[in-house]
Amino acid sequence: MAIITLTTDFGEKDYFVGAVKGAIYNELPDVRIVDISHSVSPFHISEAAYIIKNAYNSFPKGSIHIIGIDSEFTPENKHLAVLLDDHYFICANNGILSLLASEIKPTKIVEINIHGAIETNFPVLDVFVKVACHLARGGTLEVIGKNISEIKYLKQFEPIINSEKNQIVGHVLYIDNYGNVVTNISRKLFENIGKGRNYLISARMVTFPQIYEAYSDWINFEVEKENRGEEDGKKLALFNSAGYIELAIYKSNPSTVGSASTLFGLHHRDTVTINFEEK
C-alpha cells in the first residue's frame, strides 16, 4: 500500500490540512497518509528542506512526499515531480529541490503540466494531490509532466571556506522545538576542513571550544549527582542526529528558562564561524 507524506507550513488551525487529506482519501481510500510536519515557518524553504531531508529516508522506498511550501503556481514558480533516492517528491521549483538533492542526484525531474485541466488557487489540494495519487496507483512521471534538467538552485545556503582552509563561515539553518540552533555546517565538512586541528566555534557573543557527540556527554556520571553542580542550562555544541553542528542549552525550555536561540540571540541566517588553529 502506498504511503503519502505531507510537509507544509499550513499549521493546525485552518482547514487546509484536513482538505488535502480528504482529497487524497477521496481518490485512494486505502492509502496511508503520514504528517511529517505542518509547523514549518511560513514560506521557509530551508527549514522545510531540513525537515523533509532528514525524515524521508526513514520511509519505505517508493513513498510519495508532498511538500506544500511556497507552492503558488506562477511563471516563476512552476511545479515539479521528482524521483530522488527511490522516493517521489512533489513541490514547487522554488529552490527546495536543490537543497534536498545537494548530495544525491535526482533520477528524474518533470515539470508538472496538468494545470490546464485543473482550475485552482490551492495547488497543493488540486494539483499535488492529483499527482501523488497518480504515482500511488503506479503511474509514471512522464504522464503528468515534461522532463527537465535545470532547477532553481539556492547556492547561498552553503557554508563558505576561506582560501587558507582554516575557517568555515556558516549560518543558522533551523531552530528546533526546544530552541536549539542547527547550523548548515555538516560533520563531514567540519572533519574534511578541520583535519583534527583545535578549533573555536563563535556565534555572536558565545564561543564553544568542543563539540560533543550527545547532549549528555559533558556530564561526568562517575560523580554523584548532588556533587556535579547545576546541569540544566549548560551551553554546548554537538553533532546532532542529522549530522549537523547544533548549538544547544542542555534541557532548555523556550517557554520558561529560555533556549539557545533566545539566550544566544541567534536567529535564522545568523552567522556561525569555526576557526581552526594552524598546526
Q: Report residue 116's pLDDT band, with 50, 70 and 90 as the boundaries.
A: confident
Tally of CB atoms within 10 A around 25: 13
Angle formed at CA 84 by CA 62 and CA 71, multiple of 5 degrees: 95
**What is the average per-residue pLDDT within 16-23?**
97
pTM for the whole structure: 0.89
Per-residue model confidence (pLDDT) at position 141: 96
The model's pLDDT over 172-212, given as tens digits with 9 standing for 90+, comes to 999 999 999 999 999 999 999 999 999 999 999 999 999 99
Per-residue model confidence (pLDDT) at position 121: 84
The model's pLDDT over 232-276, given as tens digits with 9 standing for 90+, comes to 578 999 999 999 999 999 888 888 878 999 999 999 999 999 999
Tally of CB atoms within 10 A around 74: 8
Residue-range domains of the chain with CATH: 3-155 (3.40.50.10790), 158-276 (2.40.30.90)
* Model confidence at 230: pLDDT above 60: no
CA-based nearest residue to 263, from 208, 176, 181 = 181
Q: Considering the chain, what is the average pLDDT of its residues?
A: 92
